[in-house]
Every structure is written in structure tokens, then in C-alpha cells.
Amino acid sequence: MRVTPAVVAAERTWVEDRGEVVVPLVNRVRRDLGDAFDTTVDPITDEQYHDAVETVFSDGDRAVNVAALVAILRDLDVEGDYPGFVVDEQLGRQLAATIAGGQPLSTLAEATFHYADVTTHGDSDDDAAGLDDLDAALAAGFQTRLPGWEWTKGESPFGVEPDGE
């Protein structure tokens, strides 16, 4: 695999176009997690998804990693599927975390990936095994990155002001 700026741009377009699958998946995951944690989580819109894709891909260092992981998962298929279970899980977790950003969001995205992956299945037996992991990773990463959770709406009460030294 050779990753060039043109490849990164093509993968950005693919991720952006995948919004028709990812946005409903994000909203289902948010609804389910909201129910599980007894809270209301705002759904995302197509526009929020597209803006977040642009933000992720505008950071060249993040973009090249996201593009490479997307390309691998789009094509990943292991004979018999189960032997490839670990590699597609690893790649999916890393993609979700990379999209979400730094800590603590990256850890939350990895955890959300597992839930999204369990509830996501390919549309066709002809789909590469990694495609449902890719959809789950995109949903987990973007749902974590985007606002909508009550706890993200204000400043953290744990920030410590400098002593003024």
C-alpha cells in the first residue's frame, strides 16, 4: 500500500460519502448508550458528520493515519473470517481512537467501537470482513468526537488553576 496526498483525499471522499451508513449508526449507538446510561444524547446531523470529516482530514498527521486505516479495513478479508477477528478489532479500535482525538476521548471511542461492532453487520456476504468493523469504527470515532453528551457541555470540574507562580 502506498499512501499519497491523493490517496488521503480519495479516502476522505469515501468516508464523507459513507455518511449515509455512518450517521444512522451513530444515532442508533447514541440512543442505545443513552438508554443504558439513563441519559439523553443528542443525535447528529449529516452536516455535523461532514464537518467533522473535514476537521479530521484537515489535520495532515491525523488524516494520513485515518486514510491508511480506512483503506486497510475496506479491503481486509481473512479466509474463514474468524482468524482475522483480532486484526480487524485492533484496526477498528485504532481508527475510532484516532478519529476521536486525544485522551480521554480516544479511550471512550475504543470502548464504543466494541458496542458498535457487536451491533453492526455487513450488508452483503460479498462485503470484506473488515467493512462492518470500518463502519463501527467510523461511528464510534465520530460519535465520540461530536458534541451531544451532557457531560461534554460544560467545563470539567477537575481543572486546576495555576498557582500564579
pLDDT value of position 157: 82
pLDDT value of position 28: 96
User: How far does Cα 2 stand from its chain's mean position?
Assistant: 23
pLDDT value of position 86: 76
Residue 4 and residue 67 in contact, taking contact as beta carbons nearer than 8 Å? no
Note the helical H segments in the chain: 5-17, 19-36, 46-58, 60-75, 85-100, 105-118, 130-145
- Give the rounded percent of residues in the chain with a pLDDT score beyond 90: 66
With a cut of 50, which residues of the chain have pLDDT below it? none
pLDDT value of position 96: 97
Residue 61 and residue 70 in contact, taking contact as beta carbons nearer than 8 Å? no
pLDDT value of position 26: 97
Interatomic CA distance for residues 148 and 150, integer angstroms: 6
For 43, 82, 109, the CA distances from 90, given in Å and listed in that order, are 27, 14, 13
For 9, 20, 50, 109, 122, the CA distances from 47, given in Å and listed in that order, are 19, 11, 5, 21, 25
pLDDT value of position 121: 66
pLDDT value of position 5: 97
pLDDT value of position 108: 94
Residue 110 and residue 163 in contact, taking contact as beta carbons nearer than 8 Å? no
pLDDT value of position 62: 97
